[in-house]
């Protein structure tokens, strides 16, 4: 926030400040509180729909001053014990249309707390007036025998609900609240700030000053989200309704919990109840996503679950019947992400890269994730596995075999790959792609991967299975086009290589001690199988149906 002397300054949508140069004190002559410039500036709007952003106005409506001249003989005599001088008050007003009100803060540019003098001692040491150390009443500060407070100063203030009879120590760089409201106010709230000092005759005549800052800040927006199953069928794992949250912006955070319903996948939360199941005629929000909140009304938000066809429940017969000539969109029960699938040369394939977010300590379950290699043969029990360390850039780099790494594409990454976030997907090193199974150190083969991050009933293909896309071994253009390869590049250390010119997908097949077979792609040459790469690299993941 830029702070300019004698101006009202502001920060986008949230903050309005007055920079006050105060307390120009000429001892034994005059003491004046320098007024700020008059004027009003509304807060600038932020990105978003016009008229939805709160305005906040902090205005000075008058100056304050105190004089100490033409002292009487008795006043001069009092100077040895200290004379109490109080300014009149500088007046301020604040208005806002922000539904949740604002907070008025006072601070300073330093923590020293002194009124800095323009005079010096004989050895050129500046003469300052120190701040009081604790809050005082006026009776305490002005008492004839209160010599403890001689050559000290403090400030007082009043608010709509506080008369302001106490004096406070100097503001510091840590802002202190003077007032906090909880509603919009079109009618201005009135405030005043004044200053006082107790001076004795040891202080030389001169000017003493300090700058302080008054800042009005809109309060965080309160929102309450209620989650509706939007069905009469049984739904489990629902997030709790009625939980409150706050935000400084214009969006609130939706729960990361993904509800579960037999035979269907959660496709997101809709801001309106749709008449047709699976459709959303309002704003569709993913689990963990953001929902728009209002700055001008209460935010009691109702969200309705949208239920979509599940990729985990999809069968070969369905894929053959529905996706032989064009892709079908299915939803992942784990996070509500959608993927296109297509039937290619006898198998059902995902035709988009995986975008499953992984976190340290995350538990994956065999009813939603391909953990078939952990399930005893012939058993229908549900098993789980828990991920260890999962690192992301920039703190973790892609050069490890033993720890999972995953990279979510940034806007910069997508500019390089020339892909949408949905088409690009995430990059995973082999430890991450295999759900923590193949995390052996460099120089260790580890054998075939039998679990991975594909949905349950799907799997990462082996090197041989990659060749099934080609059909007759010639990588027919029809099959390659149906697979919809993309050149998302790959990560090594902290660098994205070959964006927009190469695509790379892991297989389950070991190639050497520290390498795995992978499928490669070039827009110029098409798909190429049989290649290999270090398990530490960050590649994309595609899946094939394997019931």
Number of alpha helices (DSSP H) and beta strands (DSSP E) in the chain:
8, 41
Q: For strands 185-199 and 166-167, give the pairing.
A: unpaired
* 105: CB partners within 8 A, 6+ apart: 175, 176, 177, 178, 214, 215, 216, 217
333-380 confidence digits (pLDDT tens)? 999 999 999 999 999 999 999 999 999 999 999 999 999 999 998 888
Average pLDDT, whole number, for the chain?
A: 85
Q: Decide if pLDDT at 51 tops 60.
A: no
Q: What is the mean pLDDT of residues 444-463?
A: 96
Query: What are the tens digits of pLDDT across the range 149-166?
Result: 999 999 999 999 888 779
Q: Sorting pLDDT into bands at 50, 70 and 90, what band is 122? A: confident
**Lowest mean pLDDT: which of 113-122, 175-184, 230-239, 507-516?**
113-122
With a cut of 90, say whether residue 201 has pLDDT above it: no
pLDDT digit string (tens) for 6-38? Answer: 222 222 234 555 444 444 433 332 233 222 222
Percentage of residues of the chain with pLDDT beyond 90: 66
Q: Could you read off the pLDDT of 315-330 as tens digits, one per residue? A: 999 999 999 999 999 9
Residue 531 has pLDDT above 80, yes or no: yes
Residues 6+ apart with CB under 8 A from 535: 401, 429, 430, 431, 438, 514, 515, 516
Is the C-alpha dihedral spanning 504, 420, 456, 334 positive or negative? positive
Give me the count of residues in the chain. 547
Q: Are 21 and 115 in contact (CB under 8 A)?
A: no
Decide: 88 and 64 in contact? Cβ < 8 Å: yes
Residue 236's Cβ-side half-sphere holds a number of Cα atoms within 13 Å equal to 6
What is the C-alpha separation between 529 and 467, in angstroms, rounded? Answer: 7
Residues 6+ apart with CB under 8 A from 321: none
Q: Compute CA 429 distance to the chain's CA centroid, rounded to the nearest angstrom.
A: 26
Nearest to 64 by CA among 42, 85, 79: 85
Q: How confident is the model at residue 65 (pLDDT cuts 50, 70, 90)?
A: low
Give 488-511 pLDDT, tens digit per residue.
Answer: 999 999 999 999 999 999 999 999
pLDDT at 32: 30
- For residue 347, what are the contacts with CB-CB under 8 A and spacing of at least 6? 465, 468, 544, 545
Burial label for 411, CB within 10 Å (0-12, 13-18, 19+), is: exposed
Is it the case that residue 461 has pLDDT exceeding 90? yes
pLDDT of residue 63: 59
Whole-structure pTM value: 0.72
């Amino acid at each position: 926030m830029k702070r300019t002397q004698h101006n009202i300054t502001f920060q986008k949508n949230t903050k309005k400040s007055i920079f006050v140069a105060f307390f120009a004190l000429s001892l034994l002559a005059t003491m004046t509180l320098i007024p700020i410039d008059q004027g009003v500036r509304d807060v600038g709007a932020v990105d978003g729909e016009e008229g939805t952003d709160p305005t906040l106005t902090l205005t000075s409506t008058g100056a304050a001053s105190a004089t100490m001249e033409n002292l009487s003989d008795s006043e001069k005599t009092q100077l040895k014990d200290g004379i109490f001088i109080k300014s009149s008050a500088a007046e301020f007003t604040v208005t806002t249309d922000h539904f949740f009100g604002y907070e008025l803060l006072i601070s300073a540019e330093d923590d020293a707390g002194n009124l800095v003098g323009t005079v010096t001692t004989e050895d050129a040491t500046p003469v300052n007036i120190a701040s009081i150390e604790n809050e005082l009443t006026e009776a305490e500060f002005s008492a004839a025998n209160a010599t403890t407070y001689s050559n000290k100063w403090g400030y007082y203030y009043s608010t709509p609900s506080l008369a302001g009879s106490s004096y406070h120590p100097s503001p510091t760089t840590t802002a202190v609240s003077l007032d906090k409201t909880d509603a919009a106010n079109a009618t201005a709230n009135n405030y005043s700030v004044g200053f006082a000092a107790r001076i004795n005759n040891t202080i030389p005549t001169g000017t003493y000053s300090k700058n302080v800052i008054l800042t009005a800040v809109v309060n965080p927006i309160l929102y309450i989200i209620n989650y509706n199953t939007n069905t009469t069928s049984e739904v489990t794992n629902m997030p709790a309704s009625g939980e409150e949250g706050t935000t400084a912006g214009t969006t609130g955070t939706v729960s990361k919990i993904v509800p579960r319903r037999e035979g269907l996948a959660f496709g997101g939360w809709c801001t309106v109840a749709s008449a047709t199941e699976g459709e959303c005629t309002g704003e569709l929000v993913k689990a963990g996503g953001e929902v728009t909140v209002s700055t001008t009304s209460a935010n009691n938000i109702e969200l309705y679950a949208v239920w979509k066809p599940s990729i985990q429940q999809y069968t070969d017969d369905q894929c053959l019947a529905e996706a032989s000539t064009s892709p079908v969109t299915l939803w992942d029960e784990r996070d509500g992400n959608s993927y296109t699938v297509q039937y290619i040369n006898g198998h059902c394939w995902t035709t988009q890269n995986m975008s499953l977010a992984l976190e340290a300590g995350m538990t994956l379950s065999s009813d939603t994730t391909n953990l078939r290699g952990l399930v005893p043969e012939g058993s229908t029990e549900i098993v789980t596995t828990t991920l260890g360390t999962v690192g992301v850039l920039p703190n973790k780099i892609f050069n490890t075999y033993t720890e999972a790494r995953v990279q979510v594409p940034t806007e910069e990454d997508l500019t390089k790959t020339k892909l949408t976030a949905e088409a690009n997907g995430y990059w995973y090193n082999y430890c991450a792609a295999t759900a923590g199974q193949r995390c052996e150190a460099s120089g260790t083969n580890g054998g075939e991967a039998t679990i991975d991050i594909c949905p349950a009933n799907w799997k990462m293909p082996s090197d041989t299975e990659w060749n099934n896309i080609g059909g007759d071994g010639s990588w027919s253009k029809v099959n390659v086009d149906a697979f919809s390869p993309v050149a998302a590049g790959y990560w090594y250390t902290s660098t994205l290589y070959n964006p927009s010119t190469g695509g790379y997908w892991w297989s389950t097949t070991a190639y050497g001690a520290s390498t795995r077979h992978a499928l490669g792609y070039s827009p110029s040459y098409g798909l190429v199988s049989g290649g290999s790469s270090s398990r530490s690299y960050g590649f994309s993941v595609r899946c094939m149906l394997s019931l």
